[in-house]
Chain A
Amino acid sequence: MTAPAPAVSLRHITRRFGPVVANDDVSLDLAPGEIHALVGENGAGKSTLVRVLYGLLQPDAGSIEVDGRTVRIHRPADAMRLGLGMVHQHFMLVGPLTVAENVTLAREPGAALGGFSPARAERAVAALAERHRLPVDPRARIASLSVGAQQRVEILKALYHGARVLILDEPTAVLTPHEVDDLFRVLRELQGNGTTIVLITHKLAEVMALAQRVTVMRAGRVVGGGPVASLTVERLAELMVGRPIPPLHARTGAPRSSEAPLLEVRMLDVSDERGLAAVKRVSFEVEAGEIVGIAGVEGNGQHELVECLAGLRPAVRGEILVAGRRCDACAPHAARERFAAGVAHIPSDRLHRGLVPDMTLAENFLLGRQRERTLVPGALLAPGALAALAAPRLAEYDVRPPGPARRARQRSGGNPQKRIAARELTRGAAVVLAAHPTRGVDLGAMAFIHQRLLRERDAGRAVLLVSSELSEILALSDRIFVMYEGRLVHETRPAETDERTLGLYMTGRQKEART
């Protein structure tokens, strides 16, 4: 059979950043109306490739064809004119404006005397949303919308500007499981209307569920791909990483000790920024040599719980005991005390909370540990000595050797997470708080971090794992709690449950789950 002429064809694209070749002779065809997954680890060159396609970067070599014509795309406006639309991972929306205003931005429906007609914009956006079955209120302000709804606005915006080829960069990274389902439904709908979709991801289950064809990139090159039907998840993972991924091994360490738990939380109440109750009378324990997973749709109080345990947010009332010693749960600015009590914290927002990107690696290794005698023996810091102390630990946690290929690392990469892990897991803390430790990191880094958490467990630490990835919770936890609307609504063990059941509890449908 002969394939239809490609809607978009990238031919022999090469793009360098200084000495780093981000795209090395990359060719890619998009068939009209297909969902094409572009997978690869962070730094593999996926983002560079679509940025070239969208006119955000100019290729050093190679050409682009749209509908069979060779085109030059100098800027995103050119791309839009050619019917290309992009939904960025970090949304490009104006928070205080309405949905209609955002969607029509730069092509607003006019009114008399060069004015802007909000009513016409709202009607146009409502009609568009209706046609593509994208439920969204044109008059709602962006800032009041959920992440999933904001993403729908981004998609609408691209469609409003006439996109026939839609590029989505890691669209599910920020979504809850239900929002992912909604997104997939929307994407299939769009495909039904003839839209070609490029899906950048490193979640292979999504590829299998949604895409017809897949292209795998590694280290700037295309290393494989083809129809999804002919590939397995394992094969894709191997192509992405360049080696087989070891499966998570079962518990190897000694069974849990029967001593007192290392982390005890009793009747904890925590408020969010607006002063509303976010954590409601939460009690649980984590024993030595145990991983306790907290599953939940984001925004159900997990964030406030972890921040409170880490001393970054005072509790309203309740008790926290670390290794049997009472901490002042209600004290503000208690991060230092909590570190001293024996808590390590891998925060969910790596670049905002966990690292100072403009400081050196060694200085980042010191963050939160600046009072440890082993790192700063005297009154003065010795940068050389500190670097020498930090280097072997960083090397141990940084699976990739430093080299030229590391220079163009992107901020979404897994390396920041490994650096934080290197710092936090070498503290010798009794309690490890890991909040979304693998969100947005690539497969290799994810496997690495999972192994490390299991090793911490086997070393007799108490690990609290908060994640919205149910597969992660199920694979790592000894016990699982489900958090819903600030409460722990369900306790179970991995062997006694499954993703569907947990999903029901996570969405507050206990009654269905129990039947």
Chain B
Amino acid sequence: MSAATERPAAPAGTPVRRAGPGADTRRALLTALAPVVAVALSLALGAIFILAIGEDPLAIYALMLRESLGTGYGLGQTLFKATPLVFTGLAVALGFRAGLFNIGVEGQLYLGGLAAALAGAALAGRPAVVLLPLTLLAAAAAGAAWGALPGYLKARFGAHEVINTIMLNFIAFALASFVGRWVFQPATVRTAEIGAGAHLARLDALFPALRGSPVNLALLLAAACAAGVGLLLFRTRTGYELRAVGLNAAAAEYGGVSIGRAQLVAMTLSGAIAGLGGVNFVLGYKHYFELGFSAGAGFLGIAVALLGRNHPAGVVVAALFFGALSYGGLVINQRVPKELVEVLQALVILLAISAQQVMERAARRLA
């Protein structure tokens, strides 16, 4: 193999690592700024669309901001929409850290929700201490299984996880519909209600200001997951090995890490977290599974991970942003078409990718 094909990427002058804390800090700051720049630019570009419709962009943005964050109800709605995105963002980020692109988060979340609903209904009479852990476990286990499958195929046969997870999304959708023949309520596309013991309490019971909004204890579970993923990635041997595999698989192998095992572990954990994302709707809101409940939260998780730079803290912030954008979009629906929010989302994703490159280059020049 020619030298050119072996090491195509880095030009000869690329510094491997900058010594000195000053340079590293500056670089970290600059690259951390990239998502902020991306969001600001996408809002600016979005303003052009709003102007084209004949509305005042500042007024629209102000309305979105006020309604999604300025009122207790709006904040609750934003948090409710952000909750599954934290789970899915974390799931995608965990995969990325191990060098795997888990596009199957949507399907994993979907089946996690279905499993939680079935477990919650089947064991409906049990007390909460039994029922709630079991339903959560069911959600995580279903997602984990749906993640482990492509993880195993990757580790064992090298089958590409991108292709397999995409395919498994469709299989998950079909599987839920198929199972529905037996478990859906007559003439509906939803399951039976789960037992009360499996309900995740709404937060407005604790914080009256959030009254009426469906945000629930799944939010705290999401926060705990974020902390757990952070701990796993940066404070455990397993996390260290996963990151080593993601950054340089050959070096990880040299360091005695079993790459296949790391890939299987990463995909299984990623799927489990995605599966847990289903409980926000099933245990915390409607108390049943219905077809299509995931509504793209799994796919949006890719954008969340991207904007959050695959860091748990970044994922939480990015999920809140997309949550606010999503609820804010509903609010401004009377004045601008709802597609505007989709345009904004797309702009954020596009710019987040390019801003990262630009800022990293700038940081390199400065360092």
Complex Cα distance A370/B244, Å? Answer: 11
Ranked nearest first, the 6 interchain pairs of A and B with the lowest CB-CB distance are A336-B256, A406-B19, A368-B255, A95-B5, A367-B255, A335-B256
B2 near A411 with CB under 8 A, answer: no
Is A310 among interface residues, defined by CB-CB distance under 8 A? yes
B313 shortest CB reach to chain A, Å: 16
- CB within 8 Å of A: which B163-203 residues: none
Q: Tell me, in angstroms, the Cα distance from A18 to B365 when the chains sit together.
A: 7
Q: Which residues of A contact B3 (CB under 8 A)?
A: 90-91, 93, 147, 150, 174
Q: Which one of B62-70, B140-148, B245-253, B324-332 is at the A interface?
A: B245-253
* B20 in contact with A355 (CB, 8 Å): no
A147, B17: Cα distance in complex, Å: 28
Say if the beta carbon of A399 comes within 8 Å of chain B: no
Q: Does B14 contact A (CB under 8 A)?
A: yes
Residues B258 and A333 in contact, CB atoms below 8 Å apart: yes
Partner of A410, one of B15, B239, B248: B15
Output the nearest chain B residue to A345 by Cβ-Cβ distance.
B254
A359/B244 in contact, CB under 8 A: yes
With an 8 A cutoff between CB atoms, is A361 at the interface? yes
A474 to B252, CA, bound (A): 33
Query: Which B residues contact A (CB, under 8 angstroms)?
Result: 1-5, 7, 10, 12-20, 23, 231, 234-237, 239-241, 243-244, 247-248, 250-258, 365-367
Task: Jot down 15 A-B pairs with beta carbons below 8 A, ordered by A.
Answer: A18-B367, A88-B12, A95-B2, A95-B5, A310-B254, A351-B16, A354-B251, A355-B248, A367-B254, A369-B255, A371-B256, A402-B20, A404-B20, A407-B367, A409-B18
- Closest chain A CB from B134 CB (angstroms): 27
Find out whether the CB atom of B240 lies under 8 angstroms from the CB atom of A366: yes
Please state if B20 and A333 are interface contacts (CB–CB under 8 Å).
Answer: no
Whole-angstrom distance between the alpha carbons of A412 and B237 in the complex? 30
Question: B248–A370 contact, CB under 8 A?
Answer: no
> With A and B bound together, what is the CA distance between A371 and B241 in angstroms?
11
B15 / chain A contacts, CB cutoff of 8 Å: 407-411
* Closest residue on chain B to residue A145 by CB atoms: B2
A403: B residues at CB distance < 8 A: 19-20
Interface residue tally of chain A, by bracket? 35 or more
- Residues of chain A touching chain B, judged by Cβ–Cβ distance below 8 Å, are 17-18, 47-48, 51, 56-57, 88-95, 142-143, 145, 147, 150, 169, 174, 310-312, 333, 335-337, 339, 345, 347, 349, 351-359, 361, 363, 366-371, 376, 379-383, 402-404, 406-413, 416
Tell me, in angstroms, the Cα distance from A369 to B1 when the chains sit together.
32
Chain A residues whose C-beta falls within 8 Å of the C-beta of B253 in the assembled complex: 312, 333, 335
Chain B residues with CB under 8 A of A88: 12
Chain B nearest Cβ from A408, distance in angstroms:
6
Residue of A nearest to B11 (CB): A56
| Cβ–Cβ contact B2 & A381, under 8 A | no
Whether B12 and A356, one on each chain, are in contact in the complex, defined by CB atoms closer than 8 angstroms, is: no
CB within 8 A of B250: which of A90, A352, A402? A352
**Nearest neighbor of A89 in chain B, beta-carbon distance:** B12
Question: Min CB distance, B342 to chain A, in Å?
Answer: 34
Q: Give the interface centre of B5, B237, B253, B255 by most chain A CB atoms within 10 Å.
A: B255
| Minimum distance in angstroms from B202 CB to a CB of chain A | 35
B5 touches A143 (CB 8 A): yes
A403 to B21, CA, bound (A): 10
Cβ-defined contact, A92 with B12, below 8 A: no
Quick one: closest B residue to A413, CB to CB? B16
Interchain CB contact under 8 A, A412 and B256 = no
* Cβ–Cβ < 8 Å partners of A339 in chain B: 256
Which residues from A are CB-within-8-Å of B10? Answer: 411
Q: Are B254 and A92 interface neighbours, CB within 8 A?
A: no
Q: Which of B14, B18, B243 contacts A407 (CB 8 A)?
A: B18
- Tell me how far the C-beta of B328 lies from the nearest C-beta in chain A, rounded to whole angstroms: 36
Q: Which of A150, A354, A408 is within 8 Å of B2, CB to CB? A: A150
